[in-house]
Amino acid sequence: KNEVEQSPQNLTAQEGEFITINCSYSVGISALHWLQQHPGGGIVSLFMLSSGKKKHGRLIATINIQEKHSSLHITASHPRDSAVYICAVRGNYQLIWGAGTKLIIKP
Amino acid sequence: NAGVTQTPKFQVLKTGQSMTLQCAQDMNHNSMYWYRQDPGMGLRLIYYSASEGTTDKGEVPNGYNVSRLNKREFSLRLESAAPSQTSVYFCASSDGRVSEQYFGPGTRLTVT
């Protein structure tokens, strides 16, 4: 069993829909990262959080340490949000990466 | 301020050839990392350098060597390339152990 599981693996939605991507992990962590990988391949860090909730524009990330679960939400989704969203958790030193969720937003 | 740069962007090698992937960052970060990304899998850490002068193995170090040349530069060497090393390689840097990582654009390597 992978230490970091993301769901769904693939998600297709219409423009304007509210999007939720989930990340569950089985190890103790000091922080959790959400990153975005564009179709061209570039990887950008979106959030790093260790408790509660963070918001940046239309993106919201939450984490529940007790349940070992995090969610990434996108409000008013847009085709430019189409990308792979990756969850990674920080254990003792290294990051443990999820396999990613491929999101496609159709106009 | 270029962030993290990698060269080359693309490379095709024959089995047994060697090459070095270059990475540089201009953010004065202490830590640097090399990852590989294969289809359907998450990023896997090859080597990392917590600070100038130190390097450590990650999850998949076999077949690779690294050099932390100075604080800015961290290179990855394939001494004898194998088809299993066909992948996209990303370099990243961070300010410290528990910090956001900043990624380079990646190098797409094909070994035939």
Instruction: Provide, as residue numbers in chain B, all residues whose Cβ is less than 8 Å from the Cβ of A93.
Output: 97
pLDDT digits (tens, 9 = 90+) for B39-87: 877 889 999 999 898 999 998 999 999 999 899 999 999 999 999 999 9
Instruction: Provide, as residue numbers in chain A, all residues whose Cβ is less than 8 Å from the Cβ of B40.
Output: 99
Record: contact B43-A93, CB cut-off 8 A: no
Residues 6+ apart with CB under 8 A from B48: A94, B31, B32, B33, B34, B55, B56, B58
> Which of A86, A90, A94 shows the shortest C-beta gap to B42?
A86
What is the 3-class SS of B24-85, one letter each residue?
A: EECCCCCEEEEEEECCCCCCEEEEEECCCCCCEECCCCCCEEEEECCCCEEEEEECCCCHHH
The mean per-residue pLDDT over the stretch A80-88 comes to 95
> Which of A42, A45, A99 shows the shortest C-beta gap to B100?
A45
How much of chain B exceeds pLDDT 90, in percent?
81
Average pLDDT over all residues of chain A = 92
Beta strands in A1-107 (DSSP E): 4-7, 10-14, 19-25, 31-37, 43-49, 52-56, 59-64, 69-74, 83-90, 95-97, 101-106
Record: contact A48-B100, CB cut-off 8 A: yes
Q: What is the pLDDT of residue A7?
A: 96
In the block, residue with structure tokens 């990756």: A86
Cβ of A51 under 8 Å from any chain B Cβ? no
Q: What is the pLDDT of residue B83?
A: 96
Is the pLDDT at A1 greater than 70, yes or no? no
By the 10 Å C-beta count (0-12 exposed, 13-18 middle, 19+ buried), B104 is classed as buried
Looking at the complex, report in whole angstroms how far the Cα of residue A92 sits from the nearest Cα belonging to chain B: 9
